[in-house]
Amino acid sequence: MKKWTVALLLTGVVACQQSPSTDESNPAQNIAGVSFVEEVKAQAGKTVIPYQKYVLDNGLTVILHQDMSDPLAHVDVTYHVGSAREDIGKSGFAHFFEHMMFQGSENVADEEHFKIITEAGGTLNGTTNTDRTNYFETVPSNQLEKMLWLEADRMGFLLDAVTEKKFENQRETVKNERGQRVDNRPYGRLWETVSAAMYPEGHPYSWPVIGYMDDLNRANVNDMKAFFSRWYGPNNATLTIGGDIDVEQTLVLVNKYFGTIPRGPEVVDQEPQPAVLEADRYVSFEDNIHLPLIYMSFPTVSLRDEDEAPLDVLASILGGGKTSLLYKNLVKNQLAVQASTNHPCAELACTFTLLALPHPASGKSLADMEKVIRDTLVEFEQRGVEDDDLLKVKAEMESNFIFGLQSVSGKVSQLAANETFSKDPNYIEKDIARYNNVTKEDVMRVYNTYIKDKSAVIVSVVPNGKPETAAKADNWEIKPRTIPEYAETKADDVVIRRAKDTFDRSVMPQAGVAKAVSVPVMWNQKLSNGIKVLGTQSLETPTTSLLIKLPAGNYYQDKSQAGIASLTAQMLNESTTERSAEDMSKELRKLGSSVNISASANYLNININALTKNLDATLALVNEKLQKPAFKADEFARLQGQTIQGIINNKKDAGYLASRAYDALLNADNIAALPSSGTQATVSALKVEDAKAYYDKFVKPANGQIIAVSDLTQAQLVVSLKSMESWQGEGPALDITLPASDAKTGVIYLVNKDGAAQSAIRIGKRSLTRDFTGEFYKSYLMNFPLGGAFNSRINLNLREDKGYTYGAGAYFSGDKEAGRYTAYGEVRADATDASIVEFVKEIDNYAANGITDEELSFMRAAVNQRDARKYETPRAKLGFLGQILEYDLSPSFVAEQAKIVETISKDEINGLAKKHLNLKEMVFVVVGDAKTLRPQLEALGYEVIDYKI
């Protein structure tokens, strides 16, 4: 079941008092053009994001957060413009600029933005929603000035660099993104269908964020420039910087690079516009799916309305995990494979949503699903709100607030969002209060106001050719849009504001002196039952994160029982002999803790996150899960049925089909050739006794591992972990070989997916097992400029130059038992054959001619400067420590890797390329419309073999 989360829990933290806005000691007092607004300081005993807020004379809001715990800086530029600012017939412009802003600006060459940040050891991205667009990067702190130069250049010096060629290329990229995320994905058109039915024509939320392709096709480059000129001025933006920064020095740099950018047109906040429905609107559409879906959406309020918080609590009661009413009435009794409730909120409007996918074995229709959902609402009326309902929400809220503080990027994004939508980075004081103050009466009031006897949009998504299976006949037609007559924007119509500088912006700033990055201080322990513990202390938040790894993963199962490891892990998330799954879920939620058990290739993994004050109580529940599972037949039957339906449904996804075929072709008849979830045949044959037998044989503590990141000392944490020593036993050692298959290489295996808008491609072969300082690691370095970065040869060719795909690349992967090399991409259906040609050209050329001097330099800088990001968060530390424990590494391997990066020669890299990139040794997998693709692929000269999953 989809996990329910309270809206906005990750947008803030507990507040503290603000200092007076006239503070005479502020760093801005001697910087012309910068005005101090306010300061929020840390207070003992409170969870807070300290910050200082400033405004430049041109209207740019600047928020600075100093965090010296890691030598990192995170920069976020949020523009208060999303798809809601677009005009009718010109949808998708905001999202389009999310792409254009990475294509170079006046002083940054084409394709250089990603390269500069990657070479700096950073990571970057951008996102667009209905109400804002943000661009962000995390880099070593000595690279901060370079990031400010980059962001300022695309804010103030973009338009002259927007060429017709770039415009056309990114238009194709957006089409590919839509193809991959909407048209070629099951249920991909649901959200835009709901929006079109919910809101009246012309409402800012009535069109999808990604836009309609007709609108993008109609637009010209000057339309886009005019949109940018209107909305992307500094006075409609918030620049938030956090991390290891000097506040005064940072302000000087911000003013230097941003201060001369002229203001844009004034921007007025949009007024809330919640939808109003006079009657239920039934809408349906057909899709290439296995399971039908019903989606009910009630209009409610708008972002941060006083009723938003109680509506979130209502969503928790109705659909929040195993304790919810929908889970009881639909999922637990196997009427539905999935059911969930949510209350997504945006700046102008919110909706209360309920969805369900009926279980085929139940024989229930979408009409039946609707009735159960409506009966559940009546049941809620009779049940009312219980004390635990409020306790769970408030505990989860506290936990989510605190866990949101574990990265500088998380803190910066919270500050930026609060400023953008409330003009108050410290809005969290109100946020905390409104959730803590929700009463039972509030929840019942909002139910009666917005849900009971109210109208909704009810969308049925049905399999192709089965329109009669909709919940009810359509009574609402989504009519063709009324598009105003297109008035072409001329170049002279675009207002370009130009800055007047006293320095040369064409000169990229040099990085400062890099600060040393320290490997976390680690400690070792071994519990009396044979579990090895590797831990480190992290004092940033009062939390503990644990990863327990038991040698009982997918490799331990027989291929005839593929899927049993995964099902056993799922059963450990269900009832124990002491309490029901619902009671277990309730106890964990009241602690604000999360425990998730899953299977990977080698291990059964137990991921635990808890507030340290609740660690012992959480571990007591973990011990109960691991030592006293109930293995109830009805729970196994439910999970088995959900797994089977998931397998069937996955076959509608091109990416899944490609990976499934690729796994089978690379491996002989062994467990690695099968998906981790199993196949329909193997899972159908399993019984609850098989899961119990698997547990009894393999799920034992001896030779297990615990990786721990906590604010506790070693001595303190070990006291808590000793509660696990009552669990005893040792399972059999892994005895497995994974031979490669004898599949024919150098040919194309074609998997049919009728009418696919995109084709999924995999090209590769079996390769090296994983190591950290040997040939596997060196081959990773070799592949980096070919397929391992955004600006790799493969991605620049297929995405940026040709516009065939939303993304493509290549990578080495492996574990102790096996490894592989894989090139991948999902490409436009009409460019499938051309994409194969380009993949082959890039791989062959690299194998024959090797790495360039520029690429070698880029790889050295990019890889070695990433260390600052390796250990920032508890999650990152868990991954790092997990590698050390699993592969018995010395912490010095990091220094050894750095030395390899600095000293590996061009000749050695080129030798590895020749050795590992022989296309004649590789299999080609293509998933798409076979009747169209077969003649095209054969025309390339390949033997094409039909392959069925």
Q: pLDDT by residue (tens digit) across 742-797?
A: 999 999 999 999 988 899 999 999 999 999 999 999 999 999 999 999 999 999 99
Q: Which amino acid is at 176?
A: N
pLDDT at 55 over 90: yes
Residue 643 lies in a domain: yes
Is residue 176 one of the residues assigned to a domain? yes
**699 and 772: one domain?**
no
| Residue ranges making up the domain that contains 646 | 522-726
Flag whether pLDDT at 559 surpasses 80.
yes
Instruction: Check residue 24 and give its pLDDT.
Output: 52
For residue 788, is it within any domain?
A: yes
Nearest to 292 by CA among 186, 178, 176, 198: 186
For the cut 60, the answer to whether the pLDDT of residue 7 exceeds it is: no
pLDDT digits (tens, 9 = 90+) for 822-849: 999 999 999 999 999 999 999 999 999 9
What pLDDT was estimated at residue 21?
A: 43
Query: Is residue 690 located within the same domain as residue 591?
Result: yes
In the structure, what pLDDT confidence band is assigned to residue 404 with cuts at 50, 70 and 90?
Answer: confident
**113-166 per-position pLDDT tens digit:** 999 999 999 999 999 999 999 999 999 999 999 999 999 999 999 998 998 888
**For residue 313, which phi and psi values (nearest 5 degrees)?**
-65, -40
Q: Are residues 707 and 851 in the same domain?
A: no
pLDDT band at 524 (very low <50, low <70, confident <90, very high): very high
**Mean pLDDT value across residues 86-101:** 92
Quick one: pLDDT at residue 672? Answer: 95
Mean pLDDT of 512-516: 84
Q: In this structure, what token pair is assigned to residue 804? A: 């065939």
Number of domains in the chain: 3
- Residue 618 inside a domain? The answer is yes
- Which of these three, 234, 249, 268, is where a domain ends? 268
Per the CB < 8 A criterion, the answer to whether 727 and 747 are in contact is no
Alpha-carbon gap, residue 24 to 31, rounded angstroms = 13
Model pLDDT for residues 306-326, shown as the tens digit of each residue:
999 999 999 999 998 899 999
At residue 485, the pLDDT reads 87
What type of residue is 898?
A
Task: Compute the mean pLDDT over every residue in the chain, rounded to the nearest whole number.
Answer: 92
Query: Given a cut of 70, is residue 504 above it in pLDDT?
Result: yes
- Whether 347 maps to a domain, the answer reads no
Residue 156 lies in a domain: yes
Pair (764, 911) in one structural domain? yes
Residue type, 51: Y
In this predicted structure, the answer to whether residue 301 has a pLDDT above a threshold of 70 is yes
**Is 333 inside any structural domain?**
no
Q: Which of 231, 251, 268 is the last residue of a domain?
A: 268
pLDDT at 505 over 60: yes
- Exposed / middle / buried, residue 742 (Cβ in 10 Å: 0-12, 13-18, 19+): exposed
Same domain as 773, residue 718: no
CATH number for position 709: 3.30.830.10
pLDDT above 80: residue 49: yes
Instruction: Return the beta strands (E) in 464-558 as ranges.
Output: 522-526, 532-537, 543-550
pLDDT band at 592 (very low <50, low <70, confident <90, very high): very high
C-beta of residue 782 within 8 angstroms of C-beta of residue 822: no
476 domain residue, yes or no: no
Q: Is the pLDDT of residue 17 over 50?
A: no
My answer on whether 656 and 766 are in the same domain is no
Measured CA to CA in angstroms, residue 931 lies from 219, 752, 755 at distances of 34, 8, 9
HEC letters along 40-67: ECCCCCCCCCCEEEEEECCCCEEEEEEC
pLDDT of 291 strictly over 50 = yes
Domain termination residue (choose one: 726, 758, 787): 726
Q: Do residue 803 and residue 930 come from a single domain?
A: yes
- DSSP string for residues in 533-587: EEEEE--SSSEEEEEEEES-SGGGS-GGGTTHHHHHHHHTTS-BSSS-HHHHHHH
pLDDT, tens digit, for every residue of 177-222? 888 888 888 899 999 999 999 999 999 999 999 999 999 889 999 9
Assess whether 632 and 686 both reside in one domain. yes
pLDDT band at 19 (very low <50, low <70, confident <90, very high): very low
- 23 pLDDT above the threshold of 60: no
Q: What is the pLDDT of residues 859-868, one digit of tens each?
A: 999 998 887 7
Instruction: Let me know whether 700 and 789 are in one domain.
Output: no
31 band by pLDDT with thresholds 50, 70 and 90: confident
Q: Domain check: are 641 and 759 in the same one?
A: no
What does the pLDDT look like over 358-401, one tens digit per residue? 999 999 999 999 999 999 999 999 999 999 999 998 888 888 88
638 plus 757 within the same structural domain: no
Statement: residue 15 has pLDDT above 80? no
C-alpha–C-alpha distance, residues 549 and 882, integer Å: 9
**For residue 949, what pLDDT is reported?**
87
**Is pLDDT of 11 > 50?**
no
Torsion of CA 563, 566, 570, 571, to 10 degrees: 60
If asked whether residues 785 and 906 sit together in one domain, one would say yes
**pLDDT value at residue 12:** 29
